[in-house]
Amino acid sequence: MTRNDHSEAAGVVPRTERGKAWLLYAATTTVLWGIWGALIEIPEKAGFAATLGYTAWAMTMIPVAAIALRLVGWKLDRDRRSILLGMGAGLMGCGGQLILFQCLRMGPAYIVFPIVSLYPVVTIILAVIRLKEKASVKAWTGIALALVAIVLLSYQPPESTGMRGYLWLVLSIIVFLLWGLQAYIMKLASDTGRSASMKAESVTFYLMASAVVLVPVALWMTDFSQSTNWGLTGMWSAFLFQSFNAIGFLFFAYAIKYGKAIVVVPMMSLAPVVTVVLSLIIYSVIPHAVTMVGIVMALVSVFLMSE
């Protein structure tokens, strides 16, 4: 066990190198992100723009990062490698989110989401080639099913749009690459098999710092000529629901540190399963047949990947 692993064991995380604690972290992230996905449309439909929702998320990341560092005695990895990889991963993830906002303004969601949702492919390829990660035949079967399920779960009914050109497609591909690279870099930075392994809490801190740095960009992208709901159903609901997203990122950092990226990333990308179930309960929204097939495939893939 490295020095960093000892420091993490002193916090809330008990010897996660053993057993399948990564599975618990991945499952927790999936549930939290699924809840967030089901609820975040409430403030958006009430008049609180998605770009302002990003700002709310960045703010909720601050206490999450502070609590994480408190768990390890405020020992932040501050070497050059940690800063570059931590901020690099954070800026890729957060920058990708802002680009996605612009992409959805220009292109059709029913094409954009399936493209972007396949970002685990980038992570898997890099993890296999660069990190030499391996998996059993059963796990690879689960990974393949998960990738198909991810596309099905991101299904959006075709819609007529006034789109022009193909810039939205270029932006979609950029987000696809950025998010895939983010997960790979997070694994590279915090890989327990390396002597320079970063603490998951430090990774979370740099994700928070990156999110905050890009807040001015989110505000610049916001159309303030439109009325904004600063009340309970708008801004305050956004802060509450974005906290699920923020806490999920901490568990994401733990999951990807102690689990294999080729398994963890596809598994956590199945959060829409939770979103669909909650939407059915809360809003009485019946899932499309394509989505239902995706749910079944997702459940089977999780079973196979967790073996």
pLDDT tens, residue by residue, 241-297: 999 999 999 999 999 999 999 999 999 999 999 999 998 888 888 888 999 999 999
pLDDT at 166: 82
In a domain, 224, yes or no: yes
Q: Which two tokens stand for residue 72?
A: 């390890």
Please tell me the number of Cα atoms within 13 Å of 2 on its side-chain side.
Answer: 13
In a domain, 80, yes or no: yes
- Per residue in 114-147, pLDDT (tens digit) is 999 999 999 999 999 999 999 889 999 999 999 9
Answer yes or no: is pLDDT of 12 > 80.
no
Answer yes or no: is pLDDT of 8 > 90.
no
Alpha-carbon span 37 to 285, nearest angstrom? 14
Answer yes or no: is pLDDT of 14 > 50.
no
In a domain, 102, yes or no: yes
Residue 163 binned pLDDT confidence (cut-offs 50, 70, 90): low
* Beta strands per DSSP E along 174-293: none
pLDDT at 123: 95
- Per residue in 20-52, pLDDT (tens digit) is 889 999 999 999 999 999 999 999 999 999 999
Q: Are 71 and 225 in contact (CB under 8 A)?
A: no
Tell me how far apart the 2 most distant CA atoms of the chain are, in Å. 57
Stated length of the chain:
307
- Per residue in 43-98, pLDDT (tens digit) is 999 999 999 999 999 999 999 999 999 999 999 999 999 999 999 999 999 999 99
In a domain, 10, yes or no: no
Residue 19 binned pLDDT confidence (cut-offs 50, 70, 90): low
Three-state DSSP at 230 gives: coil
In a domain, 11, yes or no: no
**pTM confidence score:** 0.88
In a domain, 8, yes or no: no
In a domain, 222, yes or no: yes
Three-state DSSP at 181 gives: helix
In a domain, 14, yes or no: no
User: Which structural domain, as residue segments, surrounds residue 33?
Assistant: 19-305
| Rounded (5°) CA angle 37-38-44 | 80
Q: Are 255 and 183 in contact (CB under 8 A)?
A: no
Q: Are 179 and 120 in contact (CB under 8 A)?
A: no
- Total domains, the chain: 1
